[in-house]
Amino acid sequence: MSDQEDRSSPVDPRSDDERDEKPVTKKRARVVDPDEEDDVDDTEQVTKEDEKPDNDNDEDEDEDEDEDEDDEEDADEDEERGGERRRKRRRKQKVNRFLDVEAEVDDEDEEEDEDNDYGDVAEFIDEAPEEGAAQSDYQHRRLDRSFGRNEEEDVQDIVQRLKERHARTASARYNGDSDMVPQRLLMPGVNDPSLWRVIVKTGREPAICASIFRKVFSQQYSANPIEVISVFCRDSLPGMIFLEARQSAAVSAAINGIVGIFMSKGVSLVPIEEMAPLLKIKKKDVNLNPGMWVRMKRGKHTGDLAQVVDTDQITSGVVGIKFIPRIDLTPREKRRERAANGKGLGSNIKPPARLFSYDDVRKIYGRQSVRSGAQGSYFFENDEYIDGFCVKDVKIAVVESEAVNPTLEEISRFSGDDQSTAKFDLSAIADANKNLTVSVLFPGDQVEVYEGEQTGLYGAVETVTPDVIAIKAVGGDVHGQIIEVPSRSVRKRFDVGEHVKVLAGKNANATGMVVEVKGDVVTLMSDQGEQEIKVFSKDIRKAADTTNTAKQGGLYDIHDLVMLDSTTAAVVTKVEGALLRILDQNGASKSVTPDQVTLRRDNKRFAVATDSQGNDMKVGDVMKENEGENRQGEVINIFRSLFVFLHNREYTENNGVFVARAQSLISATPKSAVSDLGKMNPALNQQLPLGGASLMPPPPTNVNRNRLINTLVVVTKGTSKGLMGTIRDIQGDNARVELKTNNKTLTIALTSLKRKDQKTGATYPLEAGPAGGFGGRPGAGGYDVNPYSGAPMAGGQTPAGFGGRTPGARFGQTPNPYAAGGIGGKTPNPYAAAGAGGRTPAPGWGAGGKTPGPAYGNAGGRTPGWAAGGKTPAHGYGDGGKTPGWGGAGAGGGGKTPNPYGAAAGPSGGRTPAPAGSMYGVGADAGGSRFGNGAMTAPTPYGGPNPGVHSAPTPAAPSNPYTAPTPYGAPTPFAAPTPFAAPTPGAALSAPTPGVGGPTPYGAPTPFGAPTPYGGPANGGAPSTAPGGIPWDWALDFRNVIVEVGPSTRPGTRAPLHFQRGLYDGKRFGHDAIVGESCRCVSLEDASIIEEIPAEYLRPCYPDAPGQVVVCIGGGPEQKGQQRTTSYENGGSWMMEMEQGDMTALVLDDKDLCRIWKV
Amino acid sequence: MSCCRELTHTILLHPSYFGAQLEDYLRQKLYEDVEGTCSGKHGYIISVITITDIGEGKIIPSTGQAKFKTTYTAIVMKPFKGEVVDGKVVNVNKMGFFAMVGPLQVFVSCHLTQAEMKFDPNSSPPCYRSNDEIIQKDTKVRMQIVGCRVEANDIFAIGTIKKDFMGQIKED
């Protein structure tokens, strides 16, 4: 009965017909449910009356009616419901309709067994005679008479009889007039039948009730009627039914054999004091105020938010609400079509909620369907629409006023647009949301008490129970105490500046910082974009100020790489207590326990992968997908150089971790390669490697040979050899040369031409490019070029061609002895001796690493031509080679020769050999270094004793040509031509040689000429780093020269590359004095700066203009130390002004010169 | 608040950089790596003052790279709640204005300004105006930090000028 109450429509008018039935119901109701009697009665009256008018009209109404009648009967039957009940009702209904008396009998039957014993039930029986008596005066009179007649009867009997009678009528009267009876008298007592609870299958309660009911009925007239007075179930108590009976045996009999009853759970007795509450209806105090939010419970608007606008008729159970209508605006044809398809008229389709628009509705439904009312309102299908909203009076029952929880979104829709939301009184919403559901509170949250006696108190939540929370108070007298407050009266508290996260609503998952708190509404400044968000305080939580900074203990940490099996890797995205949330290499996310995975060795430092562009990526790089979602993130792990795990805080999925294939990634922020010291030094690719050789030859360069046109050349080969001419045209590898002699123009191979300096008469190679025809061996040339520099200029190229030839020519005669005698072994030496500097030889060796080997192995045949190393010595040895050769020495002779030299080297070579040795010692090639030493000694002596011992003339011839080229510096080239040029210079120089004088005449220059060429290539190769062919400690031999500070030239030094970190790099100093291995230098710019600079940082300051006083710091011994004045410069060579005793102009390489400081 | 802190930084060096200038590379790398960065723990690293120890290079097996653990002292800046800072306004909009305090961006919401201070979108540049104050781009303001959000490599702060002596700094 109680549960039906909601469904009754309290508004409908009553019908008088029903009144008659009322007493009956009342009486019955009283039996079991005295507490609720009044409510029930009222309800029933009302509902009964509802139905009368349109009874039988439609099914629904019929049902309602059924229900209502049901209610009456429920009073008897203690709430039976559902289909079964309905059937039963029908049966009864029939009875009721036609035979009122029997309706009572029904009940009587049911309770007939108890009739005799109990007053309330007995009333039915007693009442009948009483009523009869009351109805008939006659009977009364007769009764009187009989009393009189029986006066003699035993008074005691009479008393007894009266007592009985009165006792019965008294109880009957109480029942009949319940309004006057105190409730407590109606409470069940020990004398009343007991209630038994039986556990049944949930959801089948009404059906089971009905079954029991039928069973009882069917057996009521049998020999063993079931003594159950009532059976009922309650919606609020699912899974159980209740039977009213005096003994449990009756209950057992009633439920025996009925499906759905759990007999095993037993039958339990409901304590008397619980019987009344069991049937109590919790009265809902519906408290509706205008402006309040409610939700619709029925119809197509189910779940829609509505606002109470009118509560004038609240007493009659009607409330005016306003909501957004759902009008089906499907075009008529379509609707018809849909109907034709059997889909019904949209009853199962919920039209979208939208504001009422007159035009739209008229278009679909026609003009006459919409009627306009006062003040811009419209009437459509009996509903009134104002401002687009539907305004309607509905029964209170169809709206839900609890747990409405309107979202800001809904409300903003309601108020039309977002703009007006601002104006909207948020307090109304706040009220609706006031009841802080406990579920949103967690221990540790800051809350504030906003109502009750503790108002204003705030603190952190300690414990949470459904109704009461304990908070640890902050501030005031109760500071630090734990205080219990009702959970309804607290709200979350936030301070301005706090970082919070939105948990629910439109902005769920947004984070931001609180900028304003007004009651329940908190304004955030979103982290994501520059916008403000207004949310309820209940919908936000304090967020960690810092992300991912707190390290968690435990074996696995976030972003660790773990292995699921031997081939599947995953990354920990979250550590949830004992569980790990992981993302595997295939992008699948799952939770695992730590023992399901193994931790992979931390390889973050080493793991590399190649991205889509072939660049390597490492952990920590920011990469971007170049396909798919184009996500971007920082690499956190790399597995097998194939799967890359990235992280981006902005993605919520998997806590920002995602996996991508290395091949689909591209660097997002191109990092300058320079700043990444973890990768190959890019400088090595651009410039000469100091210690190693690059493996690839530089690409061939095409030199524009047209610039050779009009060059003065001399022919060095062929029939025209020795003739001079001018190039008029270039055709491939040939040149058209206009000869000076006979004015003929010949086609001559470029390789057969040499450039001739008009002034000095010196010849140079025609061009410096690698394409030059010198080297018959491009491969070898390539090798040679590299070590020297990327710049295939004279230095680089020359030696190649040179080397190729020189030895060929030279060694042709005396190769064997060298190889055999190990003099060839010395070959490298001259390099050192030449002081090409620490560097020059180094690359030379590096590149020619193999050269010496084959060179020696081949007995010096041609192999030396391979490397700089190979060829250069060729010179020196060319000479040296001859010397012994001439002397008639074989291998043995060769072997001997060096010895005396070695002896001589001590004094004459001075310091030179020593450093050479040391530098080789550090060199990579031990063999080379040793040879170097030996070699060193060899050349030095040449100048001295050698010539004396050996035939003066012999060496002279070969030496001369050497000397001649030497000064021209570019020497190298010169050396090459030497053989050819032999005659030429010979002519010129034959004079000087003897001229110079007796003592030094012959070879003196010769041997020294040898080293020069080395200097040449060295210069050409690394002009910036290798200061000519001079040793690194040249400065210790001189004073009063101008020096320039630069990087250390000392090979293999451990000192820093730059003096004082390059403070003085490029600055010029005057060399004042020698202090140990350093030089005291005075700055030319600022004489107050006096530094002691180690010699290795000092480079000579080359002449740069004619007329400068220079000292020769390199070159031959007789030139070294000479002071000269520059006169004319050509291609890096200086012609000196003539001095007394000069037979010819002295030409020196500028690298051999150094300007004098104080003239 | 700015202060000096001793910090460490690990540098990996490719073998191709081994040589006389190794230390130079390391220094340069250290400066490039740490100056101007921000960590949640220490705040912004403004400048490296001294390098206490460049570290001892350890060759990592299998790669040949050297690992240097460098110790250095740097000026760091970390904002704290309640700190009063001076900054320069860089952006003004209807929600409030942004001011830069060195590398730190501070947002002052319009809710955290004096009640009489109103946004004036029509002026050029847009500004907040009250009876005696105008806050627009490039105005120097003094504000109090009320909250900080620290991320792995950035810090944001919310400030207020709704207090005595806060707001525009008037230069006389």
Concatenated DSSP letters for A776-816?
Answer: S-HHHHHHHHHHH-SS-SHHHHHHHHHHHHHHHHHHTTSHH
Q: How far apart are the C-alpha atoms of A738 and A745, rounded to whole Å?
A: 4
**What is the span of the domain harbouring residue B20?**
2-77
Strands A643-647 and A657-661: antiparallel
Shared domain for A808 and A947, answered yes or no, is yes
pLDDT in tens, A498-556: 888 887 777 777 788 888 888 778 888 887 666 788 888 878 888 765 444 344 456 77
Shared domain for B112 and B133, answered yes or no, is yes
Half-sphere exposure in the Cβ direction for B34 (13 Å, CA): 28
A394 is a domain residue: no
**Last residue of a domain, which of A971, A994, A1021?**
A1021
A380's enclosing H/E stretch is strand A378-380
Give Rg (Cα) of chain B.
22
> How many domains does the structure of chain B reveal?
2
C-alpha triplet A413, A416, A419: angle, nearest 5°:
100
pLDDT at A947: 35
Q: Give me the CATH number covering residue B69.
A: 3.30.1490.120
Shared domain for A235 and A215, answered yes or no, is yes
- For residue A735, pLDDT beyond 50: yes
Per-residue pLDDT, averaged over A1077-1102, amounts to 85
With CB atoms and an 8 Å threshold, state whether B158 touches A496: yes
Shared domain for A810 and A920, answered yes or no, is yes
Q: How far apart are the C-alpha atoms of A369 and A346, rounded to whole Å?
A: 19
Q: How far apart are the C-alpha atoms of A914 and A983, rounded to whole Å?
A: 37
Q: How far apart are the C-alpha atoms of A537 and A518, rounded to whole Å?
A: 9
pLDDT at A179: 57
- For residue A1147, pLDDT beyond 90: no
Give Rg (Cα) of chain A.
59
For an interface test with A, the pick among B93, B97, B106, B111 (most A C-beta atoms closer than 10 Å) comes out as B111
pLDDT in tens, A59-107: 444 444 444 444 444 444 444 444 444 454 444 444 455 555 544 444 4
Q: Cβ atoms within 10 A of the Cβ of A774, count?
A: 26
Residue A434: φ, ψ to 5°: -60, -40
Classify residue B120 as left (phi > 0), alpha (psi -120 to 50) or beta.
beta
Structure token digits, residue A475: 């501030």
pLDDT at A545: 53
Shared domain for B89 and B153, answered yes or no, is yes
pLDDT in tens, A665-677: 888 765 544 456 6
Shared domain for B58 and B12, answered yes or no, is yes
Whether residue A290 contacts residue A282, with contact meaning beta carbons closer than 8 Å, is answered with no
Structure token digits, residue A942: 């040449």
3-state secondary structure of A289: coil
Contact list, A679 vs chain B (CB under 8 Å)? 14
pLDDT in tens, B93-121: 888 999 999 889 899 998 899 888 889 88
Shared domain for A996 and A1132, answered yes or no, is no
pTM for the predicted model, two decimal places: 0.40
Shared domain for B56 and B6, answered yes or no, is yes
- For residue A240, pLDDT beyond 50: yes
- For residue B135, pLDDT beyond 60: yes
With CB atoms and an 8 Å threshold, state whether B60 touches A605: yes
Sign of CA dihedral A891, A892, A897, A899: positive
Shared domain for A654 and A714, answered yes or no, is no
CA distance B21 to chain A (A): 6
Shared domain for B69 and B142, answered yes or no, is no
* Axis crossing angle, helix A778-788 with helix A868-887, rounded to the nearest 10: 110
% pLDDT > 90, chain B: 34
Q: Which residues contact A137 (CB under 8 A, 6 or more apart)?
A: none
Per-residue pLDDT, averaged over A418-436, amounts to 49
Whether residue A3 contacts residue A81, with contact meaning beta carbons closer than 8 Å, is answered with yes
Q: How far apart are the C-alpha atoms of A450 and A472, rounded to whole Å?
A: 16
pLDDT in tens, B148-171: 888 767 788 999 998 888 889 887
Q: How far apart are the C-alpha atoms of A45 and A37, rounded to whole Å?
A: 12
Whether residue A4 contacts residue A43, with contact meaning beta carbons closer than 8 Å, is answered with yes
State the DSSP code for A687: S
- Kindly report the three-state secondary structure assignment for every residue of A850-881: HCHHHHHHCCCCCHHHHCHHHHHHHHHHHHHH
Shared domain for B43 and B67, answered yes or no, is yes
Shared domain for A838 and A984, answered yes or no, is yes
Taking alpha carbons only, the member of A771, A823, A828 closest to residue A800 is A771
With CB atoms and an 8 Å threshold, state whether A1056 touches B29: no
Half-sphere exposure in the Cβ direction for A1116 (13 Å, CA): 29
**Interface residue ranges in chain B relative to chain A, Cβ cutoff 8 Å:** 11-14, 16-17, 19-21, 23-26, 29, 32, 40-41, 60, 62-63, 65, 81, 93, 95-96, 107, 109, 111-112, 145-152, 156, 158, 160
Instruction: Find out whether the peptide bond into B125 is cis, omega within 30 degrees of 0.
Output: yes
Strands B154-160 and B140-151: antiparallel
Q: Specify which of A187-191, A1032-1036, A1038-1042 reaches the highest per-range mean pLDDT.
A: A1038-1042
- Kindly report the three-state secondary structure assignment for every residue of B6-51: EEEEEEEECHHHCCCCHHHHHHHHHHHHHCCCEECCCEEEEEEEEE
A816 is a domain residue: yes
Structure token digits, residue A1046: 């630069």
Q: What is the DSSP string of A872-927?
A: HHHHHHHHHHHHHHHHT--HHHHHHTHHHHHHHHHHHHTTTHHHHHHHHHHSS-HH
pLDDT at A153: 59
Shared domain for B122 and B145, answered yes or no, is yes
Q: How far apart are the C-alpha atoms of B44 and B156, rounded to whole Å?
A: 11
CA distance A571 to chain B (A): 19
- The rounded Cα A1019 to chain-centroid distance in angstroms is 53
- Kindly report the three-state secondary structure assignment for every residue of A294-349: EEECCHHHCCCEEEEEECCCHHHCEEEEEECCCCCCCCHHHHHHHHHCCCCCCCCC
Whether residue B107 contacts residue B159, with contact meaning beta carbons closer than 8 Å, is answered with yes
For an interface test with A, the pick among B18, B109, B112, B148 (most A C-beta atoms closer than 10 Å) comes out as B109
Q: How confident is the model at residue A903 (pLDDT cuts 50, 70, 90)?
A: very low
Instruction: Choose the weakest-confidence range: A21-35, A114-128, A547-561, A668-682.
Output: A21-35
State the DSSP code for A350: -
**Last residue of a domain, which of B54, B77, B100?**
B77
Residue with tokens 């039915």: A124
Classify residue A696 as left (phi > 0), alpha (psi -120 to 50) or beta.
beta
> How many domains does the structure of chain A reveal?
7
% pLDDT > 90, chain A: 0
Q: Cβ atoms within 10 A of the Cβ of A1088, count?
A: 7
Of A681, A690, A1053, the CB nearest to B14: A681
For residue A590, the cross-strand partners are: A582
Shared domain for B70 and B95, answered yes or no, is no
Q: Give me the CATH number covering residue B141.
A: 2.40.50.140
The residue with greater pLDDT, A28 or A1098, is: A1098
**What is the span of the domain harbouring residue A202?**
194-278
pLDDT in tens, A741-779: 888 888 888 888 888 887 777 888 876 543 333 333 333
- Mean pLDDT score of chain B: 88
Shared domain for A74 and A102, answered yes or no, is yes
Q: Which residues contact A1007 (CB under 8 A, 6 or more apart)?
A: A876, A879, A880, A939, A940, A941, A942, A943, A946, A959
Per-residue pLDDT, averaged over A197-221, amounts to 88
Whether residue A593 contacts residue A625, with contact meaning beta carbons closer than 8 Å, is answered with no
The residue with greater pLDDT, A418 or A494, is: A494
pLDDT at A787: 35
Shared domain for A179 and A203, answered yes or no, is no
Q: How confident is the model at residue A704 (pLDDT cuts 50, 70, 90)?
A: low
CA distance A514 to chain B (A): 9
For residue A635, the cross-strand partners are: A646
Shared domain for A842 and A798, answered yes or no, is yes
Whether residue A866 contacts residue A783, with contact meaning beta carbons closer than 8 Å, is answered with yes
Shared domain for A536 and A631, answered yes or no, is no
Residue with tokens 């301070």: A495
Which amino acid is residue A193, in one-letter code? Answer: P
With CB atoms and an 8 Å threshold, state whether B14 touches A532: no
3-state secondary structure of A1063: coil
Shared domain for A661 and A726, answered yes or no, is no
